[in-house]
Every structure is written in structure tokens, then in C-alpha cells.
Amino acid sequence: MTSILRALRSSWNKVHKRLMEPGLKEYGLYYEDMIEYPEDVVKVALSRLPEDIQMDRRRRRFRANELNLKHETLPTDLQDYDPFVSYGLSREYQRALKEKQEMHRSW
């Protein structure tokens, strides 16, 4: 049963990536840029990233908002990249989440 669920999840992940990729590229975003930070764990994870990576993320998000407001997209020559390359936010998020869970267990 778990192998069937694992196969379904893997298939869904592939479909999800294929559906997300064009939209991310149109605005010059990485998948990790879509992680929002009202959650305290995301704020902690972002603070652990180097300052230049944080600044790049802010610039990409600002540019995407600006393009969206203008009903424009990034020129096609700038859309040739893999938006699913990690810049470390997912790893730091998982680490911060694990630390938070351990802290709550110790209470």
C-alpha cells in the first residue's frame, strides 16, 4: 500500500513541477521564492541564509510583483533556467522546523 502511495506522490510531484515551471519562469522566480514568511519558522530559516541570497530573493519577488502589476513577463532569453534549483531555504526551513519541534517536546 505504501509503495502505491509513494508512486502516486512521485507522479503528482512531476505533474506539479510541470505545471509550476512556466509560471515561475515568466516572472523569474525560483520555487523556494514562493515560500511565504508569516510563519515564524520561515523567518528563522530566511535569517540563516547569507545576506546576498536574502537580497536576491527580495529582488526576484519585487520584480515578479512589478511584472505582474504591469501584466508583463520576463523576456524569453532570461527564462532559460531551472526554477527548482535550491538556494538553501528548504534545507534551513526543515532544520528550523525540527528545532522548533524538539523545543516543544522538551517542554
The DSSP string of 33-47 is: GG---SSHHHHHHHH
Across 73-95, average pLDDT: 93
Show the domains of the chain with their CATH numbers.
Answer: 22-105 (1.10.1090.10)
pLDDT at 9: 84
Taking only the tens place, the pLDDT of each residue in 38-59 is 688 999 999 999 999 999 999 9
- Give the containing element (helix H, strand E) for 14: helix 2-27
The whole-model pTM stands at 0.81
Place of cell 523556494: 32
Q: What is the CA radius of gyration of the chain?
A: 17
Instruction: Return the H-helix or E-strand segment holding 70.
Output: none
Distance separating alpha carbons of residues 16 and 34, to the nearest angstrom: 14
Per the CB < 8 A criterion, the answer to whether 35 and 89 are in contact is: yes
